[in-house]
Structure 1
Amino acid sequence: MKQLLLYCILTITFFLGAPTILAALNDEALNVSPTKEWTITFSDVVKQSTVNDQSIYVTNAAGGTVDVTYDINGNTVIVTPVTPYERGATYTLSITESVTNEMDLPLQQPVDKPFTIALPFVAASADGEAIASFTTFAEAKAALPENGFITENDRVIHMTKGVVVTTSLTTLIYGHETMRKEYAGVTRHTELLYVDSTDKYVKVLHAGEHFYVKHSDVKLLPNESLKSYYVSGNSGLGHVLYNHVTNTSSSYIIGKAPSFLTKGKAYYSTDGHHFYDSEGTFVGESYNYFQYVSPRVTSSYSAKDIDAFIMRELEAKEKSGVKRYEHATTKSALIGFGKTLKQVEQEKRVNALLLLSLAIHEGDYGMSCHALHYNNTFGFNVTDTNDACDRANVDTSNKKYYASIADNVHAVVDSLHERYLNPAHLQPNSTNIQYNGAAFGDKLVGMNVRYATDPYWGAKTAAHMYKIDQALGGKDYKAYDVGFTTKHDVTLYNENMASVYTYAYREDTKRFGIMPITLSKTPSTKDGYVRVVSELMNDSEDVYIESDYVRIVPTH
């Protein structure tokens, strides 16, 4: 006659009939999760009516029965507590002879499995095996083995080394461990280099500086290494971005690669301008030119040049066979865009190629739904809660709709000036926190700090600018020297040495005291000062800054 055997997943294995119960069955399971589900596997289909709180149950140390639920599926029974078990308490899972199969053959020998619930903080080895649990984080950290990690409520909160991945739609990064001085937002699935953590915060390295994030916004991956990297190739400097959630990679070409990088070799950088090889050896420093040059410089190209580039790109897109680019050469919102861009460049001092790059990046070469039907090729006012695009019923009352592409351009430029390119916002009486320097930038300086949650938005948009310039002859590339201020509260002066504006250090909104600057093509005649491009929209006169407070950087 067929005997009923039982197996309990993990450390529990039960046999009925001739075989004896394995000794390991009676060993106490330690550091068990408060929400532990015990999965019991029998050798035959279980008769469901025999599974109840009399035949399979959990008791506490005082003998009281704990409320549990049963999930019966063929020969398995999953036992789950209705409410979490108490931290540090010991319980016993009991399986009695009352459990039978469909032929009413019983379990021949009862089994009791003691288990103890982990204290809040569990120290684990590198392979994930729980070593011990503790009441406090400090105790767990003191017992941490080499390359081990600590969990709290089954979430990794501390590790010797590893990678941090953002999990919230927007993860706020802070300049202080108390989560004050909110600095910017970073999009979901961004890879960050782990520095340290406690049960209160996670310290990461990004954009070349230390930031702090909340545990609730990230996931810690112990003993993982950075998988995003830079590589020099025939097309230029590529940036490969790894997604630890989907285990996939994406990439884009930034522009020309620094000369010190060897083609085909992977390099690593948390800021895009300090590069290290796979051994962690520093190999060189270089900044992406179009990512940090001032938007206030004038492009060398005419409206005709720009329109010619646009049409060549649209023709290539149309010939690609990609459905969304069908009839691009007749439908794109960018057709004839050059005249408007050059007009705005002259009137409002925003570089025409920068604006075209932004339109390409946000509006998919003028072929996005909003570009075609809302005259909005910049995605302006298209937010997470206002991103629907109804082609058949265009809502002209929606603030993302514009009467013309020209209106859209002017609205975007006015907004850029008001929010992101106006140094007046660093003054103590200003409530604006979006200005962080006049450049595409990154998550440390420039528009990227507050304009986009994608930490590489500045690099990706600048990549379009490089591509446009190269296609038109490379006249704008490295036409200016760029640099950064080296201290807080740096004042810029006019020709008469009167103060024009100050890069004031506002601790409540901007943690760092460095700002991007672009040197004028006209040499300074004032001893001790360098001449730089003004950031003011209505004043194209160069300004002066003390040379001791400026560091010119190499660019690529």
Structure 2
Amino acid sequence: MKTLGKIVTAGVLALGLLSTPGISHANDIVPGSALEIEMKAMIERGVLMGYPDGSYKPSANVTREQFAAFISRALTLPDGQHSFKDVAADSALGKEVGKVSTAGIMEGVSSERFAPDALITRDQVAMTIENMIEYTGMELKPKRMEFTDASDMNSVTLNAVFNIANYEVVFGYPNNNVSPVTYSFKPKNNATRDQAAAFIFRFLTAYEATPVEEPPVEEPPTPEPAPVDNKFYLGYVENGKLVKQEYGHDAYLSAAESFKNTASADALYKGDEIIRVKSGVAYADRVINNQGVYANIYLDSAFTKPVTYIEYGREIRYIDANDQYVKVQVGGTIGYAKHSEVDFVPSDLMVDRDYYIVNQWGTLTFHQYNYAKKAAASYSIGPAPAGMQGNVKYYSHDGVHFSAGSSKVKHYPYFQYQSIRTKTNYTAEDLDRYITQRLSEVNNISSKYKDAATKSKLIGTGKDFIAIQNQYNVNALYMLAAAMHESDLGMSANAQTKNNLFGIKVYDAAPENGTAYKFAVESINDFARDYMNGRYVNPNGAYPNGAAPGNKTAGVNVKYASDPTWGSKVAGHMFRIDLALGQKDIGKHKLGITKVAGVNVRTAPLGDKLYTYNRTHLGVDNAFGYPVVILETKRASDGYDWYKISSDLNPEHDTNGGVGWIRSDLVNLIN
């Protein structure tokens, strides 16, 4: 899982995982409680430590020095000093007080007193989180919220609350005795341990979802630095190479006009950087410290609204460009990229590219090309649609709209858009049988998988996938497929040395990293509970783009992996497993995808809102809303047909029997 990682300098230290203390004794954290996920996440990160009796006391009040320690651990702050007379030199948390004080995140109640044993209030927590936002370089941008007790807060406190509300760190207390419901903040209430955990968890979630630009590497000073060439030049393909003309334009508009009117010109340069081509492709070409990393894609040309990101070297549809930005398509999303993060290949110089082809068995196969690494690979996705011809190259930028000359085909691969909330028809024994069969196959055909049949970390995990499916309502076939893909059939270094089957905490810029687990089942549990239910599938999670593998516009793939075809690769594994075991899963559900923004899922036809599909950009032709599984159709009194669908909500938050209802005219059927 190559996710949106952080590469930070000494000015802002990395939010890395600390040693995991374990939560096996955290019996006082009530399953299903409002802040269970946040509390356990902070325990696992080592932000909250337990008491000697193994408890965590979620409802206990937090002192100022305890909150200082939470912050210090969350940000891995460097050592610091303090001059508070009421914090003893040998105090257990005195060192943490020094760290937050030196960092400017927490101040004393006076220049000489920190009041370490005083209980911290919610308004003090809000102002401290605001300081964390500033310390980590995030933008302070207030989001006004209406609180009934706003008059109880001064302007400084209220501004802090609004600043952290922008990152969804703070929520109010509902006043359910009035209609419509209002909210209060209760600034002088003491913060409890689970509330403190939630504040910090939400901050970390916002921070880790915010792309960070690398500061430029400082070069040794030279007496006479080379002048920067900001002129614009036309480029021509000659003898298999792109050659830059000698004459340069001072102004972009002049160069662009010349480029437009010169039929033989293939590219436009700014200095030595290509910024436009007449025809061809773009690809991700962002390099930091000699390491290729993902390129960011934004919804706006000012680069303020990051929407997704794409693996180094991978193809991007080039639409247009000027001297400020490159307009591109990634998945179904039309967006913008920075010139510094992409490069171009004119059509006349293309030697390979991404394409789809139907093989002799009627299977849709994807041929993938990496332009930076000059490497190709192929894999099957699933049955090809009837409209596709064999041995013809089809091109698609989103994996749904395919073209070959004048032939156009629209096709949603089944497993790529089947909801993760479905359950497989296979048993634990079936899954184990396939794992054994597959490991035996690769063991016999490739030295890369030598001893896989005895060493793979997938061996014997069938029961774990089924048990976790039943506990967290995440499809077992999907989890096994994701594990096979991410762990290279259980033989990757992270799988073998860390029992990490999903590349959890493995980033583009630090592929050697990854969370270590005592047993492989723990990584399966983490993937289902904290990643799928905590962030990606749950409509109230951090990245709610739809409960299916999907692509770079809809589904888990939007934010889970930089690989733009991660969703189709996982779907390909699901297809091959299902094919080998008897095709009990493929095509068993009627699938749809929402086609308008802001669709409400209701408890019944015309019933109360259960949750909302909030994403506003639905991609090319509005074809990439939220995937749904349609269980039943019912005509309601409003004259519309309504679809009964599988609910995307987590099991512990579901109050409607695992289903919801959505009006049929808001959904396109896709199989």
- Fold-level match, TM-score > 0.5? yes
Where does residue 483 of structure 1 map in the other structure?
Answer: 592
Residues 351-375 of structure 1: CA deviation (Å, up to 9, x unaligned): 0100100110111222223323322
Cα distance in 1 for partners of 2:427, 2:468 equals 13
Q: Are residues 1:138 and 2:253 paired?
A: yes
Query: In terms of mean alpha carbon deviation, does 372-381 or 196-205 score higher?
Result: 372-381
- 8 Å contact kept, 1:296–1:351: yes
- Shift in alpha-carbon separation, 1:378–1:205, aligned structure 2, 3 A: closer
Where does residue 231 of structure 2 map in the other structure?
Answer: 120
**For 2:457, which of 321, 325, 333 is the aligned residue?**
333
Where does residue 556 of structure 2 map in the other structure?
Answer: 447
Where does residue 417 of structure 1 map in the other structure?
Answer: 533
Where does residue 581 of structure 2 map in the other structure?
Answer: 472
Q: Displacement of 1:338 after TM fit?
A: 1.3
Cα distance in 2 for partners of 1:371, 1:517 equals 31
Cα distance in 2 for partners of 1:147, 1:312 equals 56
Q: Displacement of 1:332 after TM fit?
A: 2.1
Residues 152-183 of structure 1: CA deviation (Å, up to 9, x unaligned): 11211122222112111110011111112111
- Shift in alpha-carbon separation, 1:267–1:505, aligned structure 2, 3 A: closer
Residues 293-326 of structure 1: CA deviation (Å, up to 9, x unaligned): 1000011111111111111112212222524331
Letter in 2 for 1:529: W
- 8 Å contact kept, 1:124–1:131: no
- 8 Å contact kept, 1:122–1:152: yes
Where does residue 303 of structure 2 map in the other structure?
Answer: 179
Aligned residues: 421
Q: Are residues 1:403 and 2:518 paired?
A: yes
Q: Are residues 1:237 and 2:364 paired?
A: yes
Where does residue 534 of structure 1 map in the other structure?
Answer: 647
Q: Are residues 1:319 and 2:444 paired?
A: yes
- 8 Å contact kept, 2:430–2:581: yes
Residues 80-123 of structure 1: CA deviation (Å, up to 9, x unaligned): x9654686xxxxxxxxxxxxxxxxxxxxxxxxxxxxxxx71123
- Describe how 1:276-291 pairs up with structure 2 within 5 A: 276-277=403-404, 279=405, 281-291=406-416
Letter in 1 for 2:389: T
Q: Are residues 1:360 and 2:484 paired?
A: yes
- 8 Å contact kept, 1:233–1:264: yes
Where does residue 324 of structure 2 map in the other structure?
Answer: 200
Letter in 1 for 2:537: L
Letter in 1 for 2:644: R
Q: Displacement of 1:273 after TM fit?
A: 1.3
- Shift in alpha-carbon separation, 1:419–1:268, aligned structure 2, 3 A: same
Q: Displacement of 1:460 after TM fit?
A: 0.7
Cα distance in 1 for partners of 2:396, 2:328 equals 14
Cα distance in 1 for partners of 2:603, 2:557 equals 28
Q: Displacement of 1:233 after TM fit?
A: 0.3
Cα distance in 2 for partners of 1:417, 1:264 equals 40
Where does residue 78 of structure 1 map in the other structure?
Answer: none
Letter in 2 for 1:298: K
Cα distance in 2 for partners of 1:385, 1:213 equals 19
Cα distance in 1 for partners of 2:615, 2:311 equals 26
Partner of 2:630, secondary structure, is coil
Gaps of 5+ in 1: 1-80, 88-118, 390-398, 426-431
Letter in 2 for 1:120: K
- 8 Å contact kept, 1:487–1:514: no
- 8 Å contact kept, 1:202–1:215: yes
Q: Are residues 1:153 and 2:294 paired?
A: no
Q: Are residues 1:504 and 2:617 paired?
A: no
- 8 Å contact kept, 2:486–2:502: yes
Q: Are residues 1:167 and 2:285 paired?
A: yes
Q: Are residues 1:300 and 2:418 paired?
A: no
- 8 Å contact kept, 1:146–1:160: no
Letter in 1 for 2:664: S
Cα distance in 2 for partners of 1:140, 1:349 equals 57
Identify, as 1 or 2, the structure richer in strand. 1
Letter in 1 for 2:662: I
Letter in 2 for 1:551: N
Cα distance in 2 for partners of 1:320, 1:486 equals 45
Cα distance in 2 for partners of 1:301, 1:85 equals 66
Identify, as 1 or 2, the structure richer in helix. 2
- 8 Å contact kept, 1:147–1:223: no
- 8 Å contact kept, 1:489–1:513: no
- 8 Å contact kept, 1:242–1:248: yes
- 8 Å contact kept, 1:164–1:219: yes
Cα distance in 2 for partners of 1:161, 1:506 equals 30
Cα distance in 2 for partners of 1:253, 1:147 equals 39
Residues 265-294 of structure 1: CA deviation (Å, up to 9, x unaligned): 1111111111111x3x24211111111110
- 8 Å contact kept, 2:332–2:624: no
- 8 Å contact kept, 1:274–1:282: no
Structure-2-length-normalised TM-score: 0.59
Cα distance in 2 for partners of 1:234, 1:362 equals 28
- 8 Å contact kept, 1:518–1:533: yes
- 8 Å contact kept, 1:486–1:550: yes
Letter in 2 for 1:233: N
Where does residue 259 of structure 1 map in the other structure?
Answer: 386
Where does residue 312 of structure 2 map in the other structure?
Answer: 188
Cα distance in 1 for partners of 2:394, 2:614 equals 35
Cα distance in 1 for partners of 2:488, 2:320 equals 40
Cα distance in 1 for partners of 2:226, 2:588 equals 65
Q: Are residues 1:223 and 2:334 paired?
A: no
Letter in 2 for 1:164: A
Gaps of 5+ in 2: 1-222, 287-292
Q: Are residues 1:549 and 2:662 paired?
A: no
Cα distance in 2 for partners of 1:523, 1:337 equals 37
Letter in 1 for 2:250: T
Partner of 2:309, secondary structure, is strand
- 8 Å contact kept, 1:517–1:533: no
Percent identity reads: 31
